[in-house]
Structure 1
Amino acid sequence: MSMLFGRPLCAVGFAVVATAITLALPARAEPAPPYETLIEHLDRTPATLEAEALLDAARARAQQARALPNPSISLEAENAYGRSPFTGYGAAETTFSVSQPLELWGQRGARIGAARAEADAAGLRRDQSRWAVAGRLALIYAEAEAASLQHELAAEALSLTQADASAVMALVEEGREAVLRGVQAESEVEAARAVVDETRANRDAAFARLAAVAMLTEPVTSIETSLLNRAPNPFTPDARNPLAVQIAEAELDAAGEFVNVERLRARPDVTASLGVRRFEEYDTQALTFGISVSLPLFDRNTGAISAARAEQRAAEARLASLKLEAQADRSAAQARLDASITRTRAADNGVAATEEAYRLARAGFDAGRISQLELRSIRAALIAARNTAVDARLARVRAEVELARLDGRAPF
């Protein structure tokens, strides 16, 4: 994996870094697929599959809403097997009828409209889930890359510390430095070695998390395609409302449709029937037809109507809140992204300055013009600057992920 920053011209440092990285990585490295490749397989992730299934369910309900109510058939026999003159079946009247509920008052149209509005909202929620998964994947990818870089930087810091300690021990043997300085140098080496072990554990955990979230069959042991080094492209937001506001608008439309559905359910149920009646006594038959209407005396659906209207008011409140917050959130996210870009540029300049300072300090220490304490301080500044540059790049990725979430798109 290529490093982000330049390196001091120290042969011993390069040798130790190469050895440390070689020992830290398995013999057969499986680099993670590029971020773009992982994005192409978003449809395999459980969150996307769940959102897609919910959308399919909403579309199926919209299709079902168009179905007409089923008719019912009935067969009735009257005036049979009673007392005289209705003994036996000779005077019976047999009626076969078909009844069909009639959806009047616009009930069917209201039901279809509510189901269609819910499907539209489910489609927008599916898109939101997809972009949320893309953002989470980008962040985990960047965190894994940052953990790998921090391990490499810790390995190089160990090599620099060991090189400085070797120089100090040479001076101690020559009697030019106190033995205490050698003990301090060895202590610094052990501390640096502990940091290498810690960052290796963090790197392995980040790689495992990336493999799990991206649903990779092989474990990840390296990242070759950098996401931290990628600067976000300028993005012009859609002229429409942000995706979260669009979802709130769709949910408000659906809530309004459900109010209409519940209101129309309070209307009387009307059923038409048509049948044939046979008169056994006269050996003839005649048509029967009728209509039945329910009387809404006891149940006028008032509770369901009130509940639907309350849900509509809640949807209106959510929409109003999101409209107020959407623009402010996007402006804040854009400001954080701009600040992170500036911070990254400044961190890179700081790395270049501290590398040059360390090169000069090491030359001065070898010549006896710089003390061990000064060299230690400058080396610590170099290590901190390099880690700061990694943190700045990770912050830039986080800012881009947040902005992409608000815009309803995949990061980068």
Structure 2
Amino acid sequence: MSSHFRSVRLCGSLVLVAAPLFAAAPSHAQAVPTRLTEAEAVSLALGDGDFARGAQARRDAARAGAEAITRFENSSLSVSRNTLSGPVEDEEEWEIGFVQPLDLTGRRSALRGAAVAEAEATDADVQRRAHERRAQTRRAYVGCAVAVERAAATAGYRDRLIDAERIVTERSAAGDTAVYDLRRVRVEARAAEAEVRLAEGEITAECATLARLTGTPGAIAAEPLRSPMLIPSREPERPDLVARERRVEAAGYTTRAAERSRWPEVQLGVGWRRVEALGFEADGPQVSVGVTIPLFDRGSARVREARALEHAEAADLALARREALAEVDAAEARAVAAVEAVRIAETARDDAGRLGVTAETAYQAGETGVTDLVDAYRAAHEAELSIIEMTGRANLAAIELELAQGGPNP
């Protein structure tokens, strides 16, 4: 009988360290599981074709918008022929002209500066999207890893109860224990088996998100979670704040363009003119200069609008910076508390493992009943589940801290 309990102890120790049983997964849920490390999962998610193409398309569109605003507007070319009938002879006139608007006010330069700043903001937006997708993938990986570890721990708990059931069955058949003990262990074993089925279903549910993000059917976490190492608090260097800064800059350029649009714009024209009248022909070059006159639209409303939008962007930036600092503080507080909780919970790991050994020894000696043995197994199992859950929460908190600080930690 003692040999049976030695096998129970061995199984219990394997579950408590979790790593050897980490790969346990329901065979019916994953025909061909693909095991991924966290780094592999993040790389696959960021390298996804649709995600990469969307990011590049946004960058290309923003750059094209900036390149579309050239130093000069397009020129215009006109050709005209006029005929005037007179009493003696018709008069005919040909004219060809080339007109070029000149941006002497700097309005187009300001518009181009706004477009360039907006393109830089788009680059920052794309970078922030990559950081968010990285965080989303890491969250999915943590959820999948926690589900796998829970299933492994629950399966080990079930196996210990099954071994105990076999031993109690033998003792009951020999008349060494009451039928109640057998039924008690049997009830616990069946309940544990049900928990295993639920845990296997959670693997399928939790790992489905990981599979979708990585584009890998059957993706499953390949390594157990560890308590994260936290980076000391630092000023947030976030791409979304950079994007807001660039948009404030763009709004400043737009205001400048609106102010410059109130100034008269110059148009320079050159051409050639030919006149035929009374049998004579004459031709020669011609030059023209024109300016726009702000008679009906002086642009005051556009300037007020541009300035108001610039002030709004600046205010949004100030608010975003304060919110980012608050997010870092809150995320850091949660992460530090979660890591400390894992440390405290892990101090009970050895004691939880010894509970089963102590209860087995007492049961063999007839000092306790099967209820105490089952309670010891359950306490060890709940301690292991608590460590798994807290480690998962600590990793999630570290992910949020990393994102609040500005993306992947150096």
Q: Percent identity?
A: 22
Q: Give 3-state SS (helix, strand or coil) of 1:24's partner.
A: coil
Counterpart residue number, 2:305: 307
Alpha-carbon distance, 1:303 to partner: 4.4
Counterpart residue number, 1:272: 268
Where do residues 243-282 of structure 1 align in structure 2 (5 Å cutoff)?
A: 243-281=239-277, 282=280
For residues 345-378 of structure 1, what are the alpha-carbon distances to aligned partners after superposition, in whole Å with 9 as ceiling and x for unaligned? Answer: 2222222211111221122123221223323322
The change in CA–CA distance for 1:386 and 1:28 in structure 2 (over 3 A counts) is: same
Q: Which amino acid aligns with 2:191?
A: A
Counterpart residue number, 2:86: 84
Q: Give 3-state SS (helix, strand or coil) of 2:348's partner.
A: helix
Counterpart residue number, 2:189: 189
Over aligned residues, Cα RMSD in angstroms? 3.1
> Does 171-180 or 365-374 show the bigger shift?
171-180
Q: Give 3-state SS (helix, strand or coil) of 1:65's partner.
A: coil
Q: Which amino acid aligns with 1:392?
A: M
Counterpart residue number, 2:38: 35
Indicate whether 1:50 and 2:67 are aligned.
Answer: no
> Does 243-252 or 296-305 show the bigger shift?
296-305
Alpha-carbon distance, 1:118 to partner: 0.7
Q: For residues 345 and 28 of structure 1, what CA distance do their matches in structure 2 show?
A: 37
Indicate whether 1:65 and 2:69 are aligned.
Answer: yes
Indicate whether 1:294 and 2:292 are aligned.
Answer: yes
Alpha-carbon distance, 1:95 to partner: 0.8
Alpha-carbon distance, 1:149 to partner: 0.9
Alpha-carbon distance, 1:190 to partner: 2.1
User: Does the CA contact (< 8 Å) of 1:354 and 1:385 recur in 2?
Assistant: yes
Alpha-carbon distance, 1:261 to partner: 2.2
User: Does the CA contact (< 8 Å) of 1:400 and 1:411 recur in 2?
Assistant: no
Alpha-carbon distance, 1:259 to partner: 2.0
Counterpart residue number, 1:159: 159
Q: Which amino acid aligns with 2:147?
A: A
Alpha-carbon distance, 1:10 to partner: 4.2
* TM-score normalised by L of structure 2: 0.85
Q: Please, which of 403, 406, 410 is the counterpart of residue 404 of structure 2?
A: 406
> Does 182-191 or 199-208 show the bigger shift?
182-191
Q: Which amino acid aligns with 2:399?
A: V
Indicate whether 1:231 and 2:235 are aligned.
Answer: no
Q: Please, which of 388, 391, 399 is the counterpart of residue 390 of structure 1?
A: 388
Q: For residues 185 and 143 of structure 2, what CA distance do their matches in structure 1 show?
A: 32
**Residues paired across the two proteins, number:** 396
Q: Which amino acid aligns with 2:326?
A: A
For residues 123-161 of structure 1, what are the alpha-carbon distances to aligned partners after superposition, in whole Å with 9 as ceiling and x for unaligned? Answer: 211221111111111111121111111111111121122
Alpha-carbon distance, 1:255 to partner: 1.8
The change in CA–CA distance for 1:306 and 1:193 in structure 2 (over 3 A counts) is: farther
The change in CA–CA distance for 1:319 and 1:14 in structure 2 (over 3 A counts) is: closer
Alpha-carbon distance, 1:8 to partner: 6.3
Q: Give 3-state SS (helix, strand or coil) of 1:268's partner.
A: coil
Where do residues 5-154 of structure 1 align in structure 2 (5 Å cutoff)?
A: 9-10=9-10, 21=24, 24=27, 30-41=33-44, 42-44=46-48, 46-78=50-82, 80=83, 83-85=85-87, 90-154=90-154
Q: For residues 132 and 358 of structure 2, what CA distance do their matches in structure 1 show?
A: 48
Alpha-carbon distance, 1:235 to partner: 5.2
The change in CA–CA distance for 1:85 and 1:175 in structure 2 (over 3 A counts) is: farther
Q: Give 3-state SS (helix, strand or coil) of 1:405's partner.
A: helix
User: Does the CA contact (< 8 Å) of 1:358 and 1:375 recur in 2?
Assistant: yes
The change in CA–CA distance for 1:8 and 1:305 in structure 2 (over 3 A counts) is: farther
Q: Give 3-state SS (helix, strand or coil) of 1:9's partner.
A: helix
The change in CA–CA distance for 1:100 and 1:189 in structure 2 (over 3 A counts) is: same
> Does 317-326 or 92-101 show the bigger shift?
317-326
Q: For residues 285 and 102 of structure 1, what CA distance do their matches in structure 2 show?
A: 27
What stretches of structure 1 move > 6 A for 4+ residues in a row?
12-15, 25-28
Q: Give 3-state SS (helix, strand or coil) of 2:347's partner.
A: helix
Where do residues 318-329 of structure 1 align in structure 2 (5 Å cutoff)?
A: 318-329=316-327
Q: For residues 76 and 101 of structure 2, what CA distance do their matches in structure 1 show?
A: 9
Q: Which amino acid aligns with 1:62?
A: A
Q: Which amino acid aligns with 1:356?
A: R
User: Does the CA contact (< 8 Å) of 1:48 and 1:130 recur in 2?
Assistant: no
Q: Which amino acid aligns with 2:86?
A: S
User: Does the CA contact (< 8 Å) of 1:48 and 1:133 recur in 2?
Assistant: no
Q: Which amino acid aligns with 1:140?
A: A
The change in CA–CA distance for 1:223 and 1:286 in structure 2 (over 3 A counts) is: same
User: Does the CA contact (< 8 Å) of 2:181 and 2:369 recur in 1?
Assistant: no
The change in CA–CA distance for 1:13 and 1:43 in structure 2 (over 3 A counts) is: closer
For residues 24-65 of structure 1, what are the alpha-carbon distances to aligned partners after superposition, in whole Å with 9 as ceiling and x for unaligned? Answer: 378975442322234344233544542332122112222222
Alpha-carbon distance, 1:203 to partner: 0.7
The change in CA–CA distance for 1:243 and 1:27 in structure 2 (over 3 A counts) is: closer
The change in CA–CA distance for 1:291 and 1:94 in structure 2 (over 3 A counts) is: same
